Amino acid sequence: MSKRRNFLGNLVAFSLTGLWSSTLLSQTKIPGLNSPTIKPKKPKNGARIALIAPAFNTSSEKIDRAVKDLTEMGFQVVPSKYLGDRYGYFSQTDQLRAQDLMDAFKDKTIEAIVCVRGGYGTTRILDQLDYAAIAKNPKPLIGFSDITALLQAIYIKTGLIGFHGPVGSALEKSYSKAMWLNLWKHSGSGFLMDSVDQDEIKDQKSNEYQRITITPGLGRGKLVGGSLTLITSLIGTEYEIDFTDKIVLIEEVGEKPYRIDRMLTQLLMTETFKKAQGYALGVWVDCDQPAGSKDGFSLHEVLKDRLMPTEIPCCYGMSFGHTPWNMTLPIGA
């Protein structure tokens, strides 16, 4: 048994170090990364933050709710130019959505960028972003789901740490707000990210909220990953994730167990997925078989079948993903 498998138990927390820069631009060379890691500057109290829609369009009700929640959290919300637009199922054309994001990075008065929702569309704008400009204007970008592609592409191309966390329209739970603010306000060398207390989710009867250890052990590494669908969609592109010595965050929503099986199988056939230090799985909402169904395998059975043979430390049920209780995690830290 390898040393990294000595302990895990029911892992419910992340320990983070060295997240924020005390200057505008702080760089640390990380082996295996083309660019030095860039630590963003911590947003101040009352910071101006851009609210953008880089993927699907968003209803005015969700935008209003996002502005309300973010304002109550102490931010000054600056809506992007195309935030409320509609172009088919997107907020705007690929070119204009990319422009919206770049305008937010280049605006010196903006300290952070919040995506109002995910959906689909960020992979279509990856080749239209000015990564050199992003590296010169580093600031926190936060979102999850389809935003996985942006977080990973920017980290791979520039080294800038981004944040896998709630989108602006999904901040209804105090836990999600608190974990976001606590991380962004933290100063010092270490920070512990706890999953939500079990008492708060006791009414969630689905097995999808059950916390299980798939493979016990201990892993240490930089965080990468996000949506399983987006992780696999980046395979074979210049934005493909190198999982070597990383802790891989994985979450999903609305996919049947056989589709989960197929995507995990594809990942297992890549060069680096089995070289990770650990797999940290969030809450995979609406991905299990219906209660009482005997047709096929359950979500947990698929996860164990695909991931346990790697002997890499793995746990399921951490508080991130398409769940109202969604912690904020730094990609690249």
Rounded CA-CA distance 328/253 in Å is 18
Higher pLDDT pick, 2 / 188: 188
Q: For the chain, what are the domain ranges? A: 3-13+192-322, 36-188
Fold of 3-13+192-322: Glucose Oxidase; domain 1 (3.50.30)
Mean pLDDT of the 289-312 span: 92
Of residues 145, 169, 195, 227, which has the active-site annotation?
A: 145
CA pair distance 124, 98, nearest whole angstrom: 9
**pLDDT at site 22:** 52
Residues of the chain with pLDDT > 90, as a percent, come to 77
Q: Check: CB of residue 150 under 8 Å from CB of residue 162.
A: yes
- pLDDT score, position 279: 97
As a whole number, mean pLDDT of residues 248-253 equals: 98
Alpha-carbon dihedral sign for residues 73, 250, 298, 118: positive
Q: Is 251 a catalytic residue?
A: yes
The DSSP bridge pattern shows strands 246-251 and 13-16 to be: unpaired
Q: Which pTM value belongs to this model? A: 0.90
Digit-coded pLDDT (tens) for 40-98 = 999 998 999 999 999 999 999 999 999 999 999 999 999 999 999 999 999 999 999 99
The SS3 assignment for 221 reads coil
Helices 257-268 and 299-307, axial angle in degrees (round to 10): 10
CA pair distance 109, 329, nearest whole angstrom: 24
* CATH class of the domain comprising 36-188: alpha beta
Catalytic residue from among 111, 255, 300, 322 = 322
**Number of Cβ within a 10 Å radius of residue 187:** 9
164 is catalytic: no
Question: How many Cα neighbours within 13 Å face the side chain of 178?
Answer: 11
Q: Which residues, at least 6 apart from 215, have a Cβ–Cβ distance to it below 8 Å? A: 5, 8, 307, 308, 310, 311, 312, 313, 314
Q: Which of 111, 208, 251, 252 is catalytic?
A: 251
